Amino acid sequence: MDLREAFGDYRYYLQMNEHRSPRTIASYTADLKRYIAYLEEMGIHAPQQISETDVQDYLIERSEESRPATVSRTLSSLRSFHRFLSLQQPGTLDPTRFLKGPHAALHLPRYLSRTQIEKILNSFGKEDLDIFHQAILELLYGCGLRVSECCGLRLNQVHVEQHVLRISGKGDKERMVPLHEEGMRVLQQYLRLVRPSWEKKRLPYVFLNSRGNPLTRQYVHQMIKDVLRSLGMDTSYSAHSFRHSFATHLLEGGADLRVVQELLGHSDIATTQIYTHVQDQRLKQTYDVCHPFAREEEEE
């Protein structure tokens, strides 16, 4: 059974068996349509393929564009859906079973280490497709872009001389995000050498595929899976993991949480606070190094 069939069965169950209001059923239905579309973009088409990490990544992405109450309701929708599937389909585990609440679900987003990022970005060759893929990943990690922002990036939003991208985020809010020198070099290489040969008609988007069509979220997700698989790395990392890595590495380097909030385009600092685990770890490390009692314990 694929996801859409499972959704159809669940919707029928809601209408016939659950004592819920029409408004609640409509909200759950809308939540699940969005959820299934997201999973399909990730290359997930069956309930058995969904992991707890997939659910967490989805909720984190929703938290960046929705109010806390909406995220809480979304989690309730997903729990109800997966509980139904686990009862209806033997052998199908419920990936939401260990998620205690929306705050717990958003805790500790998965991110790649600096070594892993370097391994990925250094793996590309000089072929057109390699340059194309590297440029995409340079922006996802180097600028912390959402996949939708990367796909929708326009040529007039790239300011080469200033090494800055002008990003139109959620709610049409604009932010200026710097891009490091190597990232800009790779992007320029793609724009100068690859994009002109792929462009079939004039389009405003930075990223066009080899057929001249605009980049899609599904392509990005599948490309990342393929790259990770070719390197023998964990393929459960998603495109959003590069954004998480961007934020985490900035905080590890000493960046202020408010600055990271601006760079990520979060309207609410509460959304950025899912990364406070990094600050907590840095505080503990500072304490262990600097506090005399902590040093004495190590010396004993």
In eight-state DSSP terms, residue 191 is I
Specify whether 163 is catalytic: no
Residue of 107, 119, 170, 277 marked active site:
170
Q: Residue 28: count other Cβ atoms within 10 Å of its Cβ.
A: 22
If we measure between CA atoms, which residue out of 215, 210, 201 comes closest to residue 127?
A: 210
Per the structure block, which two tokens stand in for 281?
A: 């770890």
If we measure between CA atoms, which residue out of 225, 232, 190, 233 comes closest to residue 209?
A: 190
Cα separation, 296 vs 83, whole angstroms: 51
Per the structure block, which two tokens stand in for 162?
A: 């200033």
Residue of 146, 217, 221, 249 marked active site:
146
Cα separation, 243 vs 239, whole angstroms: 7
Element (H, E) at 159: strand 158-159
Specify whether 146 is catalytic: yes
Q: Judge whether 235 and 229 are in contact, CB under 8 Å.
A: yes
Contacts of 240 (CB under 8 A, 6+ apart): 57, 60, 61, 109, 146, 147
Specify whether 200 is catalytic: no
Residue of 217, 243, 244, 249 marked active site:
243
Per the structure block, which two tokens stand in for 286?
A: 């500072």
Distances from the Cα of 128 to the Cα of 65, 124, 214, 217, angstroms: 34, 10, 16, 20
Residue of 62, 82, 221, 240 marked active site:
240
Cα separation, 34 vs 39, whole angstroms: 9
Element (H, E) at 297: helix 292-299
Specify whether 240 is catalytic: yes
Cα separation, 136 vs 180, whole angstroms: 14
Specify whether 284 is catalytic: no
**Strand, helix or coil at 208?**
strand
Residue of 10, 58, 219, 275 marked active site:
275
Specify whether 79 is catalytic: no
Question: What amino acid positions are annotated as catalytic residues?
Answer: 146, 170, 240, 243, 266, 275
